[in-house]
Amino acid sequence: MKKWRQQVKKWLANQLELPADVIMDLPRITMIGHIHIYIENHRGLLTFSDKELRLLLKQGQLLVRGDEFVIKTILPEEILLEGKIQQVVYLDQ
C-alpha cells in the first residue's frame, strides 16, 4: 500500500508539474561547496556537535559529518549549518 501511494504521488507531481519534495514530503538539501548546507522539511534535530548533525525526517534520518559545525539558523522545519562538511548520509530506518 505504501509503495502504491508513493507511485501516485510521483505521478501527481509530474502531472501537476509540482516539485517532488512538496508532494512527497521529502527534505530539500542545498549545499554551497563544502562549507554550508541548508536543509528544509525536516522533523527535528536529534543530535548536534561540532562534528555531527542528525535530523529526523518523515522517513528515516539525515546524518551530516564534518568539522567545526555551527548552526547559523534553526527554524521548526529548516536549518542552516556552517562548517567543513565531509559527508551527508540518508539513514533509512
1-15, 32-46, 76-90: which range is least confident on average? 1-15
Task: Kindly report, residue by residue over 43-59, the tens digit of the pLDDT.
Answer: 999 999 999 999 999 88
pLDDT at 6 over 70: no
Q: Which residues, listed in sequence order, are joined to residue 74 by a DSSP beta bridge?
A: 79
79 neighbors 42 (Cβ within 8 angstroms): yes
Instruction: Copy the grid coordinates of residue 63.
Output: 546524518
Quickly count: other Cβ atoms within 10 Å of residue 25's Cβ: 13
Instruction: Copy the grid coordinates of residue 18.
Output: 509540482
Instruction: Copy the grid coordinates of residue 89.
Output: 548520509
Taking the complete model, does pTM exceed 0.85, yes or no? no
* Residue ranges of domains in the chain, CATH in brackets: 26-91 (2.60.40.2000)
